[in-house]
Amino acid sequence: MGLLALLLLCLSLLFSLSSGEVSQTLGVCYGTLGNNLQSLSKSVQLIKALNAKRVKIYNADPEILEALKGTNLQVSIMVPNELLSNISKNQTLADVWVRSNVAPFIPAVKIRYLLVGNEILSSSDEVTHISLVPAMHRIRASVKAMGFKKIKIGTPLSMDVLESSFPPSNGTFRPEFSGRIVKPLLQFLNRTKSFFFVDVYTFFPWASDPVNIKLDYALMSATNITYIDPGTGLTYTNLLDQMLDAVVYAMKRVGFPDIRLFIAETGWPNGGDIDQIGANIYNSATFNRNIIKKLTAKPPVGTPARPGIALPANIFALYNENKKTGPGTERHFGLLYPNGSNIYPIDLSGKTPESEYQLLPMPTNNEPYKGKIWCVVAEDANRTDLGSALGYACGQGNGTCDPIRPGGKCYRPNSLVRLASYAFSSYWAQFRKVGGTCYFNGLAVQTTKDPSYGACKVPSITL
């Protein structure tokens, strides 16, 4: 019996090391880039109602932290990107930041993860790149000196830190980062027993290649689709596992095979622009419910390269945030509408059976829209801002706005909306393939209704 008890103890310890206190609870990312969101106290109530066990915020907002006091939620806070350069060179600044933003809330707020910057290596700022790891060392020294033993230091990176992710066994970090930034980062994470925090979205690779990547495979709902990695012989049944294992093999390739992964962000958009396929409520609910089922399974499922290892994760995001910039999907990743109501029923604990959920509205945009699309002034656009936006669109050259100049077929001096709509559509038609968007700081929206008038034919795009 003594030997058996010892064996069980060893197994228990092994399991705790592999899965840790973060084993099978999910969190939510609480972004605040909206002008119509619920109050902080109400937001905290909504987070708890989702059965989240942790929450990630994108700063160290004292009002949010005050609202989180006594909630028992594990909290991730963030050092803003713009502070990294100075903190990396000055321990006093690191001490001041931790003393001001962490110390006042311990232990009433369970701050467990202190993230230094956000997707730093996705930017083109070389100074911030080289400041990342030194800043992490400074912040950890401050946290350690103040006796906050339960806080792990990390930094979330996106999947574009990889040069290669397919097949998973070929996972490789980008050469410009691998030796001088990623390897020191991994040394830090390994020595401090922290996590490699990664933002992983299956939506983006699927949307960029929906022919070769099957939607069900990206949604984690495929029943008859598998991929066998020729390098390892491992069988994959969903795209998420492939992407995560690509990171695992990239770390292994530079000498760090055992650093734990933490999914800092994942999710699927519930809406988007007309030219964005697959962004709808059905797919969003399907993906998020499937990942919850996977990550809360007992015992832990892990990935093919790391079977049985728990994966802590945060679902992005709490709300649809109407002030986020970029394509429409950026404003439609929420689990909740800004008024606090559910976009679809969801339970982050994983305890609600699928059978208890009501039927979802069937998707209508899983394939590209077949027809013309224009970019026009949004109904609620601030008219005083249109002039500068029109000037920007026309200033890009290539005859973008020739027809709306005096004497042109589309010249309407008394209609700023018509002039701007032409400029927006013409700009978008010319520059969409090289990254131009139909957004213009929220002044523009896509439409399938032809805004042409009289002899004026407004340019459009087709997918």
By annotation, the residues acting in catalysis are 119, 265
Output the six-digit token pair for 147. Answer: 């006796």
Output the six-digit token pair for 18. Answer: 């592999």
Report H helices in 383-415. Answer: 386-394
Name residues whose C-beta falls within 8 Å of residue 313's C-beta, 6 or more positions apart in sequence: 26, 27, 262, 263, 266, 291, 295
Cα 279 from Cα 365, distance rounded (Å)? 7
Q: State the burial class of residue 210 (Cβ atoms within 10 Å of its Cβ: 0-12, 13-18, 19+).
A: middle
Cα 85 from Cα 129, distance rounded (Å)? 9
Q: Tell me if 264 sits within 8 A of 27, measured CB to CB.
A: no
Cα 54 from Cα 20, distance rounded (Å)? 15
- The residue among 71, 28, 15 whose CA lies nearest residue 318 is 28
Cα 153 from Cα 11, distance rounded (Å)? 28
| Lookup result for tokens 């997918």 | 463
Q: Tell me if 256 sits within 8 A of 249, measured CB to CB.
A: no
Type of residue at 418:
R
Cα 120 from Cα 130, distance rounded (Å)? 10
- The residue among 173, 179, 234 whose CA lies nearest residue 198 is 173
CA distances from residue 223 to 217, 226, 266, 299, 369 in whole angstroms, order as listed = 9, 8, 22, 21, 27
Q: Tell me if 302 sits within 8 A of 33, measured CB to CB.
A: no
